[in-house]
Chains A and B, each alone.
Chain A
Amino acid sequence: MANFYNDNPDLKFHLEHPLMQKIVELKERNFADKDKFDYAPVDFEDAMDSYDKVLEVVGEISGDIVAPNAESVDQEGPSIVNNEVVYAKGTQENLDALVKAGLMGITLPRKYEGLNFPIVPYIMAADMVSRADAGFVNIWGLQDCAETINEFANEEQKEKFLPRVCAGETMAMDLTEPDAGSDLQAVQLKATYNEEEDQWYLNGVKRFITNGDGHISLVLARSEGGNDGRGLSMFIYDRAEKAVTVRRIENKLGIKGSPTCELVFKNAKAELCGSRRMGLIKYVMALMNGARLGIAAQSVGISEAAYREGLTYAKERKQFGKAIIEFPAVYELLANMKAKLDASRTLLYETSRFVDVYKTYMHIMEERKLTPEERKEMKKYQKMADMFTPLAKGLGSEICNQLAYDSLQIHGGSGFMKDYPIERIYRDARITSIYEGTTQLQVVAAIRGVTTGGLLNVIRDYELQELRPELHSFRRTLIGMTEEYEHAVKTVVERKNPEFIDFHARRLVEMAGNIIMGYLLLLDTQRDNKFKNSTEIFLKSAKTENLARAEFIHGSNLEDMDAYKHDRV
């Protein structure tokens, strides 16, 4: 009888952010659907009420069905039966409940039978489902691949595939191969066009494909000659073709309920999605940005679970005659965990809002010409979304790993046993900083925002926001951190050495991230004082962390890098 929405008022707090007014009005095109669909909202308040009520259903399913199934799903895992992936019993129950509740195709337009929700409430649903079972959220959350079809496929394909997703069919994105992981330009799966039949065929192998036996798959394949990213196109493969063999399911450390498949395509009929040659350079980038936001949500959900498990245990466990939460070593851990959880969550929803604004403008652009102001705004939010997505994913997943580690530590020996959920949560957390681009690759994506000054501009905007007088001291701390960050960036960039920038990139990105999360927590506190404690605690550690990074950077020279190179060590 748990409800993961009602028991976590922070979600509703983020749902009610002031920018939602703009997002909802854009998404609903001034509520044009209200007379066409009986479930469309009639105004802003009605829409917000709908998100709230639907999220309450997600919270109930997460708490009453998905979370109780997590342990058995982790033990049982999926299997291959007659060349088809069969989910663990609990996984299937979870999926059935969410499908019956109509929670597939959440963000898709109503004309394709979606709910037409903005990304913010969708990500919030993912946050809760992930808290319940991080492995399961992969299967359910792959519905965001449908966004790529909605953005880039032709109308006929949208009408064919999107209603199927809304009705409950699952998806997969088939990108990686044995020799093409982080470097997707190396993808070799061959797409050949048969002119007589006017038909594309796929041949080759994909590896590490989450939910690889899903109903509808987006496949990155080499349709042109050459060996670079411009020879790759995107295809839609329908499982009904039965031309793909699931060769194996990986045996993994965590997220064991989520089937990670190796697939063999043998003359598999597929449809081209969008234009040839745009597969990697345009569509995968869009797909990955959506998926990265999904992993950011997964990370926050795991962090929430880890924090709650740690807190509960620390209150219950008695040693030396008192609950262990009474000891400074434990309560400090928990307070830092809570601060980091709040920090990563506020970054997640800020990013989601940016994505919402620009993606909605993009869809509006298909319907009509944007005004110059709208176009400008779209560009602005797109830029911010592009800068923030790798931060939310990179930093969120690292925080999630830290929280899982600390929560297990609080459990002591019991946490190392299978008796408590933290053991599973700890294993599940580990993948978040690896897939959809490792933290190191998120840094590569985020460093541009550092070197071009884009992130600094966003920070400067936050600095100008109105605050209550008693919060001004936090802002002074953040202004000091910003100056230090600017100085560090300057020190690195002035050497005009790309390798030196790469060498310090993570430090700089993390410094910017800390300042941004600090400001977001501060702005949350301006709206609701309950975040004041987290703001204070977060800033205390962020300030010292940034200082240490700045110290490292200022004391570092080009030739120092040599000492780190493998052949010298």
Chain B
Amino acid sequence: MGLKIIVLAKQVPDTRNVGKDAMKADGTVNRGALPAIFNPEDLNALEQALRLKDKYEGSTVSILTMGPGRAAEIIREGMYRGADGGILLTDRAFAGADTLATSYAIALAIKNMDYDLILAGRQAIDGDTAQVGPQVAEKLRIPQITYAESINSVEKKTVNVLRRLERGVETVESPLPCVVTVNGSAADCRPRNAKLLMKYKHAHTVTELQDSSEDYIDLTADRPYLKIKEVSAADVNADLNWTGLSGSPTKVKSIQNVVFQAKEARVLTADAYEIEELVKELIDNHTIG
């Protein structure tokens, strides 16, 4: 039984090691100062997809990402780890999209694809909204399972998933097709594989190959698997009122700069008294409660 799995992945600025120049004066992210990376929880989702591919012979894993031309790197990164290929959803008309416009475009692209299961990271580290996965499911009118920690099995067109919740875990089932968003507590993604890396480093989109500022070796004529497909707004018949900035009701009103003040570190011993004192103090200063 081969599964057709789509992994939604996003190229994000690495916000985990933020330096002084991470934000511009106008309050937007200074993308130039932060390296572009594979959104961490999307890597957790990819690992779940690859495990299913290992388990169910004949399965395929395809990466779907929306972004500028350089986001093709995310598809290659996925292929280095075992994905079979991917689609780059790219168009000027998609620029400036919030979660609603993003899920609109992604859902349209998926409608043209054949799939059993859609996996995505719980949320991206740039916006932390956790909305795109669920919105895609709603737009496709298929079930969704969020906070997945592991996909236990897919048998008889039913997926069995362990969810990580605030106060424990639960195991749920859903008919296929469905959307599963994967938690950061799930297994780390496998490393890039040397042979796959050397094979797929030559995979490019047409736009990349036409870019005269880069000197790529074009092997796509003899090796069709090296073509990364680009899909535009027109290709998915998108209504431009629903894409990009015009399709995004989210408006940023203001951005505040929060400065964490480093205070003196304290070392506590693990006895009941000190712990109780700490809990009291944290409740008093509203850190918890």
Distance of A42 Cα from B17 Cα, bound (Å): 37
Asked if A53 CB lies within 8 Å of chain B CBs, one says yes
Our pick among A38, A42, A61, A97 for the contact of B217 (Cβ within 8 Å) is A42
Task: Say yes or no: B191 contacts A1, CB within 8 Å.
Answer: no
What's the least CB distance linking B46 to chain A, in Å? 13
**Complex interface: chain B residues within 8 A of A42 (CB):** 217, 219
A41 interface contact, C-beta 8 A: yes
Provide the A31-54 mask, 1 if CB < 8 A to any CB of B, else 0: 000000011111100100110011
The answer to whether B194 touches A57, judged by C-beta atoms less than 8 angstroms apart, is yes
On whether the beta carbons of A41 and B191 are closer than 8 Å, the reply is no
* B193 close to A (CB within 8 Å): yes
The answer to whether B217 and A46 have CB atoms under 8 Å apart is yes
Instruction: Write the nearest CB–CB distance from B47 to chain A, whole angstroms.
Output: 11
Q: Could you tell me if B199 and A38 are in contact, using CB atoms closer than 8 angstroms?
A: yes
Within 8 A of A (CB), among B198-228: 198-199, 201, 217, 219, 223
Quick check: is A115 within 8 A (CB to CB) of the other chain?
Answer: yes
Task: Tell me, yes or no, whether B263 is within 8 Å of chain A by CB.
Answer: no
Given contacts A39-B195, A97-B191, contact A1 B17 (CB under 8 A): yes
Is B156 part of the binding interface, using a Cβ–Cβ cutoff of 8 Å? Answer: no
Find chain A residues with CB under 8 A from B196 CB: 39, 102
Bound-state CA distance A41–B198 (Å) is 8
Closest Cβ–Cβ distance, residue B19 to chain A (whole Å): 14
CB distance from A46 to the nearest CB of B (A): 6
Cβ–Cβ < 8 Å partners of B240 in chain A = none
A55 to chain B, nearest CB (A): 10
A103 sits at the interface (CB 8 A): yes
What A residues does B190 contact at CB under 8 A? 97, 100-101
Residue of B nearest to A103 (CB): B194
- Specify the main secondary structure of chain A where it touches its partner: loop
Interface membership of chain B positions 41-73, coded 1 if the CB is closer than 8 angstroms to chain A and 0 otherwise = 000000000000000000000000000000000
With A and B bound together, what is the CA distance between A134 and B137 in angstroms? Answer: 49
Known: A61-B191, A100-B190, A101-B192. Is A53-B217 also a contact (CB below 8 A)?
A: no
A502 within 8 A of B: no
| Known A-B contacts A1-B16, A42-B219; A49 and B201 likewise in contact (beta carbons under 8 Å) | yes
Output the least CB separation between B219 and chain A (Å). 7
Tell whether A169 is near chain B: CB-to-CB under 8 Å: no
A60 at the binding interface (Cβ < 8 Å): yes
User: Contact: A39 with B192, CB < 8 Å?
Assistant: no
Question: Which residues of B have CB within 8 Å of A103?
Answer: 194
In the bound complex, how far is the Cα of B223 from the Cα of A97, in angstroms?
29
Within 8 A of B (CB), among A4-63: 38-43, 46, 49-50, 53-54, 57, 60-61
Question: Which residues on B sit within 8 Å (CB–CB) of A54?
Answer: 194, 197-198
Contact A53 B197 (CB under 8 A): yes
Chain A minimum-CB-distance residue to B191: A101
A102 adjacent to B193 (CB under 8 Å): yes
Q: Complex Cα distance A237/B231, Å? A: 55
A90 to B55, CA, bound (A): 25
Nearest residue (CB) in B for A117 is B194
CB neighbours (8 Å) of B195 from chain A are 39, 102, 115
State A39–B223 Cα separation when bound (angstroms): 12
Most chain B CB inside 10 Å of its own CB: which residue of A39, A43, A46, A60: A39
* Bound-state Cα–Cα, A54 to B192, Å: 9
Q: Which A-chain residue is minimally distant from B192 (CB atoms)?
A: A57
Q: Are A39 and B191 in contact (CB under 8 A)?
A: no
Cβ-neighbour of B191 out of A38, A50, A53, A100 (below 8 A): A100
In the complex, what's the smallest C-beta–C-beta distance from B228 to chain A, in angstroms?
16
What is the bound-complex CA distance between A52 and B251, given in angstroms?
A: 43
Q: How far is the CA of A231 from the CA of B224 in the complex (A)?
A: 57
Check B194 against A115 for contact (C-beta < 8 Å).
yes
B146 CB to closest chain A CB (Å) equals 27
* Chain B minimum-CB-distance residue to A34: B219
User: Which of A42, A57, A60, A106 lies at the interface centre, i.e. has the most chain B CB atoms within 10 A of its CB?
Assistant: A57
In the assembled complex, the Cα of A1 lies from the Cα of B194 at a distance in Å of 20
- Chain B nearest Cβ from A99, distance in angstroms: 10
CB of B51 to closest CB in A, whole Å = 12
The interface residues of chain A lying within 8 Å CB-to-CB of B16 are 1
**Residue pair A53, B201 in contact (C-beta under 8 Å):** yes
Contact between B198 and A39 (Cβ–Cβ < 8 Å)? Answer: yes
Q: 1/0 contact trace for B146-181 toward A, CB 8 Å?
A: 000000000000000000000000000000000000
Most buried by A among B16, B194, B199: B194
Q: How far is the CB of A196 from chain B (nearest CB, A)?
A: 44
Cβ of A53 and Cβ of B193 under 8 Å apart?
A: no
* Chain A, Cβ-Cβ closest to B194: A102
Contact pick for B223, options A38, A60, A61, CB 8 Å? A38
Chain A contacts of B191 at CB under 8 A? 57, 60-61, 97, 100-101
A362 to B199, CA, bound (A): 28
Q: In the complex, A102→B201 CA distance in Å?
A: 15
C-alpha gap A40/B197 in the complex (Å):
11
Q: Are B194 and A101 in contact (CB under 8 A)?
A: yes
| Complex Cα gap A96–B223 (Å) | 31
B227 CB → nearest A CB, Å: 14
The residue in chain B whose Cβ has the minimal distance to the Cβ of A53 is: B197
In the assembly, what is the distance between CA of A324 and CA of B226, in Å?
54
> A50 near B219 (CB under 8 angstroms)?
no
Determine how close the nearest CB of chain B comes to the CB of A109; give it in whole angstroms: 14
Check B193 against A50 for contact (C-beta < 8 Å): no
Q: Tell me which residues across on chain A come within 8 A of B192, comparing CB atoms.
A: 57, 60, 101
* B contact residues around A57 at 8 Å (CB): 191-192, 194, 197
CB closest chain-B residue, reference A38: B199
* Beyond known contacts A46-B217, A100-B191, A115-B194: 7 more, CB 8 A cutoff: A1-B17, A40-B198, A54-B194, A97-B190, A97-B191, A102-B194, A106-B194
Q: What are 8 A-to-B residue pairs whose CB atoms are below 8 Å?
A: A49-B201, A50-B198, A53-B198, A54-B194, A57-B191, A101-B190, A102-B195, A102-B196
**Which 5 pairs show the lowest CB-CB distances between chains A and B?**
A39-B198, A102-B194, A101-B191, A39-B199, A102-B193
